[in-house]
């Protein structure tokens, strides 16, 4: 997609614009209100990222004596280059000089401005290719590798810090490359700038990311890695370069129109607010939030409605939760199963009521005919009970349309939670001995595994109390919490040793329970985070098979799935949002992941703050207690929630 508007007056843009919300690009130009200041969590991430980048750059400079470090000279802790326009120009000239002389590694360079493409960029590293040309590498304070497994990432092509070049990379069999969209779009931005300057490495386009693993993970920017919507209504695989070109050009259009709107033109801005994950840290939420909350609330405020789904609803005239709730669930179910209702609805105007539906849509469409028959629609007269507005979605079938309708009804209903359709009794896997598990981590690794063990009978308490596992208090108490924690500077070995201690203790509990002929279940809330860390650390610790067997068994229960598959709220189903249904509240102030990261900064190290450590341990304990409280509520009271069919 090339820009559709005159973008010649658009300021040169860095790579960040392509990966940020398009509404943010618009508001950055128009500035409709006073922006919110950066949150403490965002500032922390920025500071940690800068510190990590500086440490890696220093390491690389030592490993590569011939490297050109353009940020090596500092004043008051800040890079000299980049403080003003003149020094940025100096760094750009210095970068060109280093590239012209064939310098193998350029640290902190600034690429020549791409006036035609409206691009400017400063890759953390530029790595030379054999013969000619350069590839961009960025340094990111997060993990770039994940555990092996189908669908868990891309091929991990890695090279060490001492041999940065792509040509020195080998495939890492023990891991997959994490596919972080924002990282790859940033690399694509630099790739286009290198090409515009005639300085790109020849051949297939690659870029690299150095994460906390401290290796270069190389990404094929031309690989068909992203499934996106297409004009046909289906999806299509596209490359990172394809995605970047579209997103960057789209934002150039947005900024050009926003400039015209700010200058008093009658043109309207191109985009309107939509609730997405990025909103939580956006300075313009002070503008978008009230707009989205007006009336019955924008449909994007509902769970799992992203921009693509929001657009389909908008195209059908459904822009708020009330309009969505007013659609017909029965008709939506037919649309979701792939029944094309357009010829059926057209037949209502010109076909007799007794006309058979099979004459309307054709004998060949047996699957659609079966779905219509199951819904009690055999004739045109029967079809008059369908909702024309809902049937209009047949032109862009949405599998989740019935779910969206129920979410809207739950959000606007009189109750905090409803039973999903078909759920008469809420069922929860229970066991004689239950263990609620929760971990705390930073980008560098997991520093805390907390486990709350509950014995649900006198026999279970007796078995655990005499097991030698330090739970003798269970003779009088029902539950026992234990924390496996390290405040040492995080390394792979520290993380592995901590996990090994936790895993050994958990295995001993499971063994004692099995030996007594009792049942055991481990629980977490939203297992994706725990499972990812379990697999990753287990692969490093030689416990991959044991861990895979456990998390793939009936003994490992994701309470989030138990909740979400049986109840519907129309709101967030995060633990902090649903635990109040069970009457649970956290003892610590400001519970949440962002606050935990800030507390960890004060808690870590040999002289860590005691109060911060106590807060983190109490927070983790509360998380495990919240999971137990929610599970008890699901067992005891959730079946009394009204069915979603009764939501007003």
pLDDT tens digit sequence for 594-631: 899 999 999 998 889 999 999 999 999 999 999 999 99
Percentage of the chain with pLDDT > 90?
A: 79
Q: Specify the pLDDT at position 404.
A: 98
Taking alpha carbons only, the member of 242, 244, 165 closest to residue 207 is 165
- Min mean pLDDT across 276-280, 387-391, 551-555 is at 276-280
- CA 260, CA 447: separation in Å to the nearest integer? 51
Topology given in CATH for the domain delimited by 433-644: Nucleotidyltransferase; domain 5 (3.30.420)
Q: What is the per-residue pLDDT across 210-252, written as a single tens digit (0 to 9) for each?
A: 999 999 999 999 999 998 877 666 788 999 999 999 999 999 9
- Greater model confidence, 499 or 149: 499
First to last CA, the chain: 45
State the pLDDT confidence band at 151, using cuts at 50, 70 and 90: low
Q: Specify the pLDDT at position 84.
A: 61
- Greater model confidence, 466 or 536: 536
The beta strand positions in 468-573, using DSSP E, are 479-485, 520-524, 556-558, 567-568
Q: What is the mean pLDDT of residues 185-208?
A: 97
357 has pLDDT over 90: yes
Do 485 and 596 form a contact (C-beta atoms < 8 A)? no
Residue 473 carries which DSSP code?
G
371 has pLDDT over 60: yes
- CA 255, CA 369: separation in Å to the nearest integer? 49
Taking alpha carbons only, the member of 418, 510, 400 closest to residue 463 is 510
The beta strand positions in 194-294, using DSSP E, are 206-210, 216-220, 224-229, 235-239
Q: What is the per-residue pLDDT across 384-410, written as a single tens digit (0 to 9) for each?
A: 999 999 999 999 878 999 999 999 999
- CA 307, CA 229: separation in Å to the nearest integer? 11
475 has pLDDT over 90: no
Q: Specify the pLDDT at position 80.
A: 41
472 has pLDDT over 90: no
pTM, to two decimals: 0.89
Q: What is the per-residue pLDDT across 21-78, written as a single tens digit (0 to 9) for each?
A: 999 999 999 999 999 999 888 898 899 999 999 999 999 999 999 999 998 643 333 4
Which residues are within 8 A (CB) of 212 and not within 5 positions of it... i.e. 6 or more apart? 52, 141, 142, 143, 144, 443, 444, 445
Q: What is the mean pLDDT of residues 554-570?
A: 98
Neighbouring CB atoms inside 10 A of 467's CB total 18
- CA 293, CA 312: separation in Å to the nearest integer? 20
- Min mean pLDDT across 101-110, 321-330, 348-357 is at 348-357
Neighbouring CB atoms inside 10 A of 149's CB total 12
79 has pLDDT over 50: no
Q: What is the per-residue pLDDT across 407-456, written as a single tens digit (0 to 9) for each?
A: 999 999 999 999 999 999 999 999 999 999 999 999 899 999 999 999 99
Intervals of CATH 3.30.420 along the chain:
433-644
| Alpha-helix residue ranges (DSSP H) falling in 64-172 | 85-100
Q: Specify the pLDDT at position 537.
A: 92
Residue 218, SS3? strand
Q: Specify the pLDDT at position 73.
A: 45
- Min mean pLDDT across 79-93, 511-525, 593-607 is at 79-93
Q: What is the mean pLDDT of residues 562-589?
A: 96
């Amino acid at each position: 997609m090339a820009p559709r508007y005159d973008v010649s007056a658009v300021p040169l843009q860095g790579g960040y614009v392509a990966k940020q919300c398009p509404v943010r690009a618009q508001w950055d130009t128009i500035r409709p209100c006073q922006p919110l200041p950066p949150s403490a969590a965002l500032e922390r991430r920025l500071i940690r990222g800068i510190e990590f980048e500086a440490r890696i750059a220093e390491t690389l400079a030592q490993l590569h004596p011939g490297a050109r470090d353009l940020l090596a000279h500092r004043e008051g802790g800040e890079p000299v280059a980049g403080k003003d326009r003149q020094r940025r120009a100096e760094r750009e000239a210095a970068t060109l000089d280093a590239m012209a002389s064939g310098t193998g590694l350029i640290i902190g360079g600034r690429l020549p401005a791409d006036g035609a493409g409206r691009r400017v960029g400063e890759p953390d590293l530029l790595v030379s290719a054999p013969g000619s040309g350069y590839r961009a590498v960025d340094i990111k304070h997060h993990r770039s590798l994940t555990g092996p497994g189908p669908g868990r990432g891309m091929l991990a092509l890695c090279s060490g810090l001492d041999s940065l070049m792509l040509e020195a990379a080998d495939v890492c069999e023990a891991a997959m490359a994490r596919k972080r969209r924002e990282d790859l779009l940033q690399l694509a931005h630099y790739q286009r700038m290198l090409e515009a300057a005639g300085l790109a490495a020849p051949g297939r386009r690659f870029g690299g990311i150095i994460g906390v693993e401290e290796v270069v993970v190389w990404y094929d920017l031309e690989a068909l890695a992203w499934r996106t919507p297409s004009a046909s209504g289906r999806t299509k695989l596209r490359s990172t370069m394809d995605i970047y070109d579209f997103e960057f050009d789209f934002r150039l259009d947005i900024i050009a129109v926003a400039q015209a709107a700010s200058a008093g033109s009658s043109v309207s801005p191109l985009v309107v607010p939509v609730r997405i994950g990025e909103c939580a840290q956006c300075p313009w939420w002070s503008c978008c939030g009230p707009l989205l909350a007006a009336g019955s609330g924008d449909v994007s405020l509902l769970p799992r409605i992203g921009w693509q789904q929001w657009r389909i609803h908008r195209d059908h005239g459904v822009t708020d939760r009330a309009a969505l709730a007013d659609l017909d669930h029965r008709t939506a179910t037919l649309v979701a199963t792939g029944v094309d209702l357009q010829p059926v609805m057209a037949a209502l105007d010109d076909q007799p009521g007794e006309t058979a539906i099979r004459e309307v849509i054709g004998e060949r469409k047996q699957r659609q005919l079966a779905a219509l028959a199951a819904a009690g629609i055999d004739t045109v007269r029967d079809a008059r009970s369908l909702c024309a507005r809902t049937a209009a979605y047949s032109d862009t079938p949405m599998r989740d349309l019935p779910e969206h309708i129920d979410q809207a009804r739950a959000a606007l209903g009189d109750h905090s939670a409803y039973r999903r359709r078909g759920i008469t009794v809420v069922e929860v896997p229970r066991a004689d001995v239950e263990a609620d598990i929760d971990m705390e981590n930073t980008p560098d690794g997991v520093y805390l595994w907390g486990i709350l063990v509950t014995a649900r009978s006198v026999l279970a308490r007796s078995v655990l109390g005499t097991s030698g596992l330090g739970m003798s208090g269970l003779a009088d108490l029902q539950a026992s919490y234990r924390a496996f924690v390290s405040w040492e500077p995080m390394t792979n070995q520290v993380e592995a040793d901590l996990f090994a201690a936790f895993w050994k203790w958990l295995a001993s509990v499971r063994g004692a329970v099995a030996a007594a002929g009792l049942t055991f279940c481990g629980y977490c809330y939203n297992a994706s985070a725990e499972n990812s860390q379990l697999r990753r650390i287990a692969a490093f610790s030689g416990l991959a098979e044991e861990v895979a067997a456990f998390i793939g068994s009936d003994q490992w229960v994701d309470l989030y799935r138990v909740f979400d598959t049986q109840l519907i709220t129309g709101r967030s189903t995060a633990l902090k949002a649903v635990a109040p249904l069970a009457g649970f509240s956290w003892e610590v102030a400001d519970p949440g992941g962002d606050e935990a990261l800030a507390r960890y900064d004060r808690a870590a190290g040999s002289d860590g703050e005691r109060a911060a450590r106590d807060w983190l341990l109490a927070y983790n304990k509360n998380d495990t207690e919240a999971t137990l409280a929610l599970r008890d509520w699901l067992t005891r009271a959730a079946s009394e929630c009204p069915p979603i069919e009764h939501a007003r």
